[in-house]
Amino acid sequence: MTAVAGRPAGVRGPGEGRFPPDVAAVLSAAGWFEGVRVDDGDMLHWFRALKTAGADMSPPAVAALREFGGLTVHQYGPGVDMSRMPFRIDPMAGVHASATLAAYGAALGSALTPLGEYDLGRGRLAMDEEGAVHLWWGDLWRVAHSMDTALSALVRGRRPTRLDLEAPREPPPEHSMDVDEATVLARRLTAWNRTDVGVALHPFDLGWLVHHPPSPAGGDTDAPARDPGGGYWVIDRRNGRVTSWPSVPPDVVVGMYRDQHGDHPPRHAVRGGGA
């Protein structure tokens, strides 16, 4: 999803007072300009996808995504404190990590909204309810206290501050889900509530794996949005929670889900693609 485009005539560039010249030049090269806005359709798509994954979009995150959503910066090289890494502002890149971000948000005392990815997906960017930008990169790090200063820090390669938080384990399930309920939910996720479109649930010990199919024509336009890049939904049989996962082999998705949400030791062999 590309939300930034070329700057129209008469619109001032990003470096005129708001960002330092070196940062402004990088943002401009990536297609951002002062006054650009993501359209309502893309914002609604993101809102629905985050809501389906159990994440809310806080007012500061709405403002940041409205202005910078779709921004992709390709960069490598030495920075001020650490190497400069590529990053992308797109909440869909972090939607499958929403449960992890929710746990860290609980430890932080401020809910985290998925904001994008860092270092080609090795890290996830998120924004708290006060507008501070954080990076989940093995642990939770604070990048900066605002979107503007975070962009400057990311562009310049400034080291974030490690918060040394321990994410609490997920609370006990409140309502287990049977296969009939899961089928209804899967139809809403994948078939836009159309009864003439079949859905396939692939069971495993913790729930069901549901593949993202092509969007059928018609149907319920209020159904939750899906990741346009494809992938899978996982419906947890213990609590009905839905999470979105990338388009990788199904056994890898199952392995990653067990690692993050299982009640037994991680099965690292599955993460690598083995059975």
Nearest to 122, CA basis, from 91, 86, 153: 86
136 φ/ψ angles, rounded to the nearest 5 degrees: -90, 110
CA-CA distance, 91 to 12, in Å (whole number)? 27
Nearest to 252, CA basis, from 273, 229, 266, 233: 273
**Which amino acid is located at 128 in the chain?**
D
98 φ/ψ angles, rounded to the nearest 5 degrees: -65, -35
Domain layout of the chain by residue ranges:
21-162, 179-271
User: pLDDT tens track of the chain, all 275 residues?
Assistant: 445 544 444 445 544 579 999 999 999 999 999 999 999 989 988 888 888 777 889 999 999 999 999 999 999 999 999 999 999 999 988 877 887 888 899 899 999 999 999 988 888 999 999 999 999 988 899 999 999 999 999 999 999 999 988 766 655 555 788 998 888 878 776 644 445 556 788 999 999 998 865 443 333 333 333 333 456 778 889 888 777 676 778 898 899 888 877 764 433 322 223 32
- Read off the pTM: 0.63
CA-CA distance, 169 to 181, in Å (whole number)? 25
